[in-house]
């Protein structure tokens, strides 16, 4: 240290801690970068937390042990770090920031880990339940633009858990391949229709450190029953979303913060017939036209932003 870059007392005065101020000063010797902005924001946030909570040495070690355990649980098949980000609402917030939609358009949400892109096409009205286990559900829907006109020839990909809350790729030995997955096309007016079975909600994995944390906090890991959709059409931003069963008891406590008022729908039950209840669901999904992004580029912004504002 020395010469032209001596620390100035006022630089640390506005910082959350002397160490955060000095960290900022050290970074400033290297010019701005996205990484430096992220490191500074992380230091500011962590120091604010330490100043607020004043953790003991034991508590600090417990926090380190927790993070170490999260790392031990993360591997190619299970991502405990993503699970942690999900239950803290971080994944959902990032999705909201990266996929803003104008008023009136259906909100975008996380695709989740169970999506498959290789699903064969489903004929209009076809049944995507390949084992017919569960209560029958008929889904009808329409894809529309912001002005309400139908979007013809849109591709509607759909996937959901079975009546026990499990996806086909979670139990490949028990469910037929592509069970409860479909790929439909809308007609000229934007309509689509398929048969399936009513999905059940499910819980996120509870056997790892994230599950233990949520249990200690008294918070649940449940996700209310839902159907995932990914809708794509030329001229429109691809819409990835879920539609949730409004009557599910967990509707107000989705563990990954995916539920929004526009995404709740009524799965209507008809009286029992032949020992089985039937359900219907009617939907309208509103797509947003392609828009120029900040800086005139499509896709996610990658350049540093001056004050750490949201990336849109
Ligand atoms: Fe899901």
- Within 13 A of 84's CA, how many CA atoms are on the CB side? 16
Closest CA to 229 of 273, 265, 253: 265
Element (H, E) at 182: strand 181-185
The pLDDT value recorded for residue 276 is 76
Q: What are the DSSP calls for 185-197, one per residue?
A: E--TTSEEEEEEE
**Could you tell me the distance, in angstroms and rounded to a whole number, from the CA of residue 309 to the centre of ligand 1?**
30
CA of 165 to the centre of ligand 1 (A): 9
Q: If we measure between CA atoms, which residue out of 37, 78, 18 comes closest to residue 208?
A: 78
What whole-number distance in Å separates Cα of residue 281 and Cα of residue 140? 6
User: Cα dist. 129→60, 242, 247 in Å?
Assistant: 50, 18, 22
Strands 181-185 and 155-160: antiparallel
114 Cα to the center of ligand 1, angstroms: 7
Backbone φ and ψ for 206, nearest 5 degrees, come out as -110, 0
**82 C-alpha to ligand 1 centroid (Å):** 15
CA of 242 to the centre of ligand 1 (A): 8
Strand, coil or helix: 308 = coil
- The domains located in the chain, with CATH, are 18-54 (no CATH), 90-294 (2.60.130.10)
For residue 50, how far is its CA from the centre of ligand 1 (angstroms)?
A: 36
Q: Say what the pLDDT of residue 294 is.
A: 59
Cβ atoms 240, 159 nearer than 8 A: no
User: What pLDDT score does 303 carry?
Assistant: 36
At residue 156, the pLDDT reads: 98
The one-character DSSP state at 150 is B
255 Cα–ligand 1 center, Å = 11
**d(Cα 167, Cα 158) in Å, to the nearest integer?**
12
User: 28 C-alpha vs ligand 1 centroid, how far in Å?
Assistant: 44
Quickly list DSSP for 83-133.
HHHHHTTHHHHHHHHHS---TTSPPP----TT--S-PPP--TT-B--SS--
> Digits of tens for pLDDT over the chain (312 positions)?
444 455 454 444 578 999 999 999 999 999 899 999 999 999 999 999 999 999 999 999 999 999 999 999 998 888 999 999 999 999 999 999 999 999 999 999 999 999 999 999 999 999 999 999 999 999 999 999 999 999 999 999 999 999 999 999 999 999 999 999 999 999 999 999 999 999 999 999 999 999 999 999 999 999 999 999 999 999 999 999 999 999 999 999 999 999 999 999 999 998 777 777 899 999 999 999 998 775 444 444 343 333 333 322
How would DSSP label each residue in 209-254?
HHHHHHHHHT---EE--EEEEEEE-TTB--EEEEEEETT-TTTT--
| Interatomic CA distance for residues 18 and 37, integer angstroms | 18
The reported pLDDT for the residue numbered 275 is 73
**pLDDT value of position 300:** 40
């Amino acid at each position: 240290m020395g010469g032209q870059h001596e620390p100035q007392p006022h630089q640390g005065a506005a910082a959350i801690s002397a160490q955060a101020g000095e960290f900022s000063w050290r970074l400033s010797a290297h010019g701005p970068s996205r990484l430096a902005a992220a490191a500074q924001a992380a230091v500011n946030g962590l120091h604010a937390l330490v100043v607020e909570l004043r953790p003991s040495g034991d508590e600090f070690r417990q926090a380190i042990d927790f993070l170490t355990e999260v790392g031990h649980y993360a591997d190619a098949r299970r991502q405990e770090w993503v699970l942690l980000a999900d239950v803290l609402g971080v994944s959902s917030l990032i999705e909201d920031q990266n996929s803003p939609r104008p008023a009136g358009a259906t909100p975008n949400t996380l695709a989740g880990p169970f999506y498959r892109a290789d699903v064969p096409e489903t004929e209009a009205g076809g049944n995507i339940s390949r084992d017919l286990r569960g209560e029958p559900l008929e889904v009808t829907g329409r894809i529309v633009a912001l002005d309400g006109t139908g979007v013809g020839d849109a591709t509607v990909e759909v996937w959901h858990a079975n009546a026990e809350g499990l996806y086909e790729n979670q139990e490949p030995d028990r469910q037929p391949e592509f069970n409860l997955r479909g790929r439909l096309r809308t007609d000229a007016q934007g309509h689509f229709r398929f048969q399936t079975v009513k999905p059940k909600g499910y819980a996120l994995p509870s056997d790892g450190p994230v599950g233990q944390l949520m249990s200690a906090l008294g918070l649940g890991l449940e996700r209310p029953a839902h159907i995932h959709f990914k809708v794509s059409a030329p001229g429109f931003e691809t819409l990835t979303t879920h539609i949730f069963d409004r009557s599910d008891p967990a509707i107000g406590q989705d563990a990954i913060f995916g539920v929004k008022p526009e995404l709740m729908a009524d799965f209507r039950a008809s009286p029992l017939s032949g020992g089985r209840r039937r359900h219907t669901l009617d939907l309208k999904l509103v797509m947003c036209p392609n828009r120029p992004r900040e800086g005139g580029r499509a896709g996610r912004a990658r350049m540093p932003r001056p004050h750490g504002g949201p990336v849109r």
